[in-house]
Amino acid sequence: DIDKGEVTPRQEFKARARYLNEKYDYDVNEARKIWCFGPEGTGPNLLMDCTKGVQYLNEIKDSCVAGFQWATKEGVLAEENVRGVRFDIHDVTLHADAIHRGGGQIIPTARRVLYAGMLTAKPRLFEPVYLCEVQCPEVAVGGIYGVLNRRRGHVFEEHQVTGTPMFIVKAYLPVNESFGFTADLRSNTGGQAFPQCVFDHWQVMNQDPFDDSSKIRQIINDIRKRKGLKEGIPPLDDYYDKL
């Protein structure tokens, strides 16, 4: 809904809270206290104030928002954008001295808290998915199915163009599997298939990123290596602080 523009930061907050309550069963009072969207102030993640009577909270709001924007722009798994996460602030203990409540202390702390929250919430990777439309004669349809199945593609529609021998096959194809797709398709259909791919949506990759043997873990390691980050997902102990 955020991506579609049905829920936005600039909406009237009472109308937005009512919509979130009716569609997603959010508590109306909490939904009225959305601090911000992120990353970039418009992304598909929420920071919500669920506290009751915390002193000095408004003084650190801007710092918390900055930490939230940072954490959602560079997520904990591979410093990629975060999607579909709602962070609730339930309680905050603050130093009585204002000098210890500045951005220098609060922003990195807020980011660490959000990272710890993500690590304990069974995080998953999202992958981008193309909508792929392939035009071909009937004899080539079988070859298209073969290529798509090998690349984790999923055909959801097939129909003949009225008055012609051509068929249209529509499928979802993970972007990660699309490299060399056109050449592969042509070689398996005798050059008779003509694909068009456009970005359509994101889908969850349902494998545990903490399982060393999973494909997801390998993808994360490759991303981290490419970015020059420390190898492996940071352990929870790095962010799990106790007073």
Q: What is the pLDDT of residue 115?
A: 93
* C-alpha to C-alpha distances, 170 to 149, 150, 156, 201, nearest whole angstrom: 13, 16, 6, 14
The gap from C-alpha 99 to its chain's centroid, in whole angstroms, comes to 36
Instruction: Enumerate residue ranges in the chain where pLDDT < 50.
Output: none
Q: What is the Cβ-side half-sphere exposure of residue 121, based on CA atoms within 13 angstroms?
A: 16
Identify the structural domains of the chain with CATH numbers, from first to last: 33-121 (3.30.230.10), 126-204 (3.30.70.240)
Name residues whose C-beta falls within 8 Å of residue 188's C-beta, 6 or more positions apart in sequence.
Answer: 143, 144, 146, 147
Note the pLDDT of residue 235. 87
pLDDT score for 85: 92
Q: Which two tokens stand for residue 79?
A: 């410093």
In degrees and rounded to multiples of 5, residue 238 shows phi and psi of -65, -25
69: left (phi over 0), alpha (psi -120 to 50) or beta: alpha
Which residue, chain included where needed, has tokens 């591979």? 78
Can you name the residues that pair with 197 across neighbouring β-strands?
132
Res 238: pLDDT: 86
Tokens 């951005």 belong to 103
Q: Give the pair of three-digit tokens for residue 228.
A: 């020059």
Q: Which residues contact 190 (CB under 8 A, 6 or more apart)?
A: 140, 143
For residue 171, what pLDDT is reported?
94
**pTM for the predicted model, two decimal places:** 0.81
Other beta carbons within 10 Å of 49: 19
**Cα separations (Å) of 138 from 4, 173, 184?**
36, 21, 18
C-alpha 1/C-alpha 23 separation (Å) is 10
Instruction: Return the CA Rg of the chain.
Output: 23
